[in-house]
Amino acid sequence: MRGTLVLAGVLALAAVSGPPVIAAPAAAGDVTADISRNPATGIFELTVQKAGRVVLPASPLGIRTATADLTTGLRETARSTRVVNETYRMTTGKRLDRAVQHTETRISLADTGNARFDLVLRVAPDGVAYRYELQAATDVLSEASAFAIPGNASAWLMDYSPQHENQRFRTTAGGAALREYGNPSLFQIGQDFVLLTESNVDGRYAGSSLVHTGGGRYQVQLKDQRVLGARIGPWRTMIVGDLATVTESTLVDDLADPSRISDTSWIRPGKVAWSWLSEHSSPSDFERQRVYVDFAARNGWPYALVDEGWSSQWVPELTRYARAKGVDILLWYHWNSVDTADERKREFDLLQAWGVKGVKVDFMESDSQSRYQFYDAILAETAQRHLMINFHGSTIPHGLARAWPHLLTMEAVHGAEQLPQPNGNPIQPFTRNVVGSMDFTPVSLEVGPRVASIAHEIALPVVFESGWTHFADKPEAYGRFPEALRFLNQVPTVWHQTELVNGFPGESAVFARRNGDRWFVGGIALGGARTMTVPLSFLGSGSWLVETIKDGSGRSDVVRTTSVHSSADTLSVPVPENGGFAAVICPVTPGRTSCYQPIAQVPDTSLTVTPAGSVTVTPGSSFEVTGSFTNSSMRPLTDVELKPSVPAGWTVTGAPVTATVLRPNAVLNARWTITVPANVSSGGFEVPIAAEYQVPDFPRVHVARTVRGLVPLTGSAYVSDLPFDSATNGWGPVERDMSNGETGGGDGRTLTVAGTTYAKGLGVHAVSDVVISLGGTCRTFTASVGLDDETTSPGSVAFQVVGDGRVLGETGVMRTGTPAAPIAVDLASVQVLSLHVSDGGDGKNFDHADWVNAHLAC
């Protein structure tokens, strides 16, 4: 919306006989909502108007519960009205600071049996919303809620799927096939637009779709046949106005619950280097991930996301490497691996210890109440641990980012992962992106179909809004387009203001977004070459420096030109077929020749620790560690602290060493004594020594090195009862004393090989490695090995016992149904034991393998 729209007065009640009518006039927006009882059917209906024009004809209201049909035969028992005035601040979105000015009427309704509920109506300058509030929690079966759209209205719809990733297409409200469509859905009714969606949906309810039942009538269909224990429903939301009002609306967030997080200082939107799309195998490659970290650091991107395939064996080291360069690590999870409270505690506590700052959680693919309860739980638990989050394979935004501001983006879009043609791009900002941050993963310069122009691609992070922007291509690809990369390095992901300049769904879109005193403009178009125009009326007074980035010849790098304009001017940019452009605009000031700002880099520092090699300790003993932190740069560091972190129950003698200022070439030295508990468990351990400091343009920088050691195993033990140095697995986690099961932890069955069951052992899936430090104190390893009976098809694997890199024993290829084979090896002087399972040479499908009765004698 342009400017501030003020809702005037309160709901005006009709002082006439006949059906009750409610009207809510908005002085600037001219949106009114009328609720009346249809005398022919006895059904309460909603009508919405814009400036006297009907945009939503009379549409039914009501709800059916397990105990009452609250759709007909209702009477009004009470009514109250209030004005809702709120202000709040977001961490993401079209603008950070929001003001809510709604008129709310609550109508209490009862049926003939005196079953009651409240119909709550909100009218805002940019739309209308209503919800049902039941007197007591009960099971909800369905809603009568529907939207009667004129049949000739243009419609931009998406076939419903629970991951919300189908393409959107243009049709008419009445001509659309009679089937399910996903929220949000956009309709043009005469000169007005209406975007239908829902807000404030969480685990108290279920999500919904819109079913076209004929003639332009779209029925709300709940995604559960029975919503359990519901009391307050979500807001059925209609954003109403011209295209600018719809695209700039924050109504979905305005209707949502207030933030549950009081301190948001740890939440940091930003750009993300991401490798999975351009090279699917790279997330399993430590060295390749270091390349992405280096690229992010050089270009001022604060994050690198390691997607599916990362290993706990090297992520801690990668995180330390990245944090020293001012880059934080984000990690991908399949939702099944964190769908229980125990799994989330185990995994997220580990991420906190490593220094990981956020997670991408994938494949929820459901709008059921139970899946929304999962969202509630994981949002609360990540917030508690100061882990930011991104949902993929998810539902659409419902205002969750207001309630949980560490939710920085969601997928729910036919994005770059689909390798799409560009024809969907100019639809998304008028539909999906209206309701919240959208993780499209933009800017595919070399990966994908290469149909959109280079300038079209680099305009997408301005046209599309996302609190985290994950860039789709590899460092080398961006390096071949240096001018395009320079622009990407300037684009923020946080906006103080958003304006739709011009465009039309499916044809073109030009957006201007402001961060501080700089405006960023992005324009995209479909079809043949043309000249795109940008009226600069969104600018303030005075002269403005405009740097325009447009396509070069063919598929070469973009070209940047500079000019000076005022708000009375119009910028014209020629674009090629499926082209686009971008611009950066800033006030003209003396000496300013560019709107581009320098890319911040962390200072050069070094940290050395001792002991440099592995240390072996016994229960109850002590050992010394030292740290030496050097400022190798020409910049002073402030608020420096150097300290160790020890496992729970261990003690440190000696305080952290600090310096208010560490000047260039200065060194901070420290020495501590670490005492090991008398009851410490055997296994490997790490003592990180970390220097943290403050420097402008960065959050607190963390530089760490690790002292590694071992508490040797004594006596004898089953391997499933011991801590692992690391464990990697081809399907879900390694399971202790149960079969591998599915992708979640603890979901296996009794270990069973060729019909024989076992109580102790490890359940794994090829390719798998379990690593345990022994310290040279163990004599033998024994086990029986084979494929578990739980799979539905035959598999094949090979088992190896590896000591200090040498194969000590192996089975050759084994197949499903073969009895467990004994394996025994001599471990004299072995420091590190690895239990390895390969896929048998024919792929890893159905390769659930068991190390049963795996035992160490030491």
Quote the CA–CA distance of 311 and 38 in Å, as a whole number.
62
Catalytic positions, written as ranges = 362, 417
Phi, psi of 158 (to 5 degrees): -140, 125
Element (H, E) at 136: strand 127-143
* Count of helices and strands (H, E) across the chain: 10, 58
- Nearest by Cα to 289 from 320, 318, 331: 318
Q: Tokens 């611009």 map to which residue?
A: 583
Distance between CA atoms of residues 538 and 521, nearest Å = 11
Return d(Cα 200, Cα 184) in angstroms, integer.
14
Longest dimension (CA), the chain: 97
Determine contact, residues 57/151, Cβ cutoff 8 Å.
Answer: no
Residue 72 bridge partners (DSSP):
none
Distance CA 21, CA 132 (A): 18
Dist CA 670 CA 687 (whole Å): 14
Strand partners, 159: 181
* Interior/surface letters 95-104, b for 16+ CB within 10 angstroms, e for the rest: beebebbbbb
Residue type, 150: P
| Contact predicate 783/823, CB 8 Å | yes
For 779, other C-beta atoms within 10 Å of its C-beta total: 12
Amino acid, res. 813: V
Which residues contact residue 111 at a Cβ distance below 8 angstroms, ignoring those fewer than 6 apart? Answer: 68, 69, 70, 73, 74, 75
- C-alpha span between 858 and 776 (Å, rounded): 9
Which of the 8 DSSP states describes residue 682?
S
> What's the CA gap between 440 and 611, in Å, rounded?
46
In degrees and rounded to multiples of 5, residue 254 shows phi and psi of -60, -30
Give the count of beta carbons closer than 10 Å to the beta carbon of residue 264: 14
Kindly report the number of other CB atoms within 10 A of residue 800's CB atom.
18
How buried is residue 665: exposed, middle or buried, by Cβ count under 10 Å (0-12/13-18/19+)? exposed
Structure tokens at 121: 């109506």
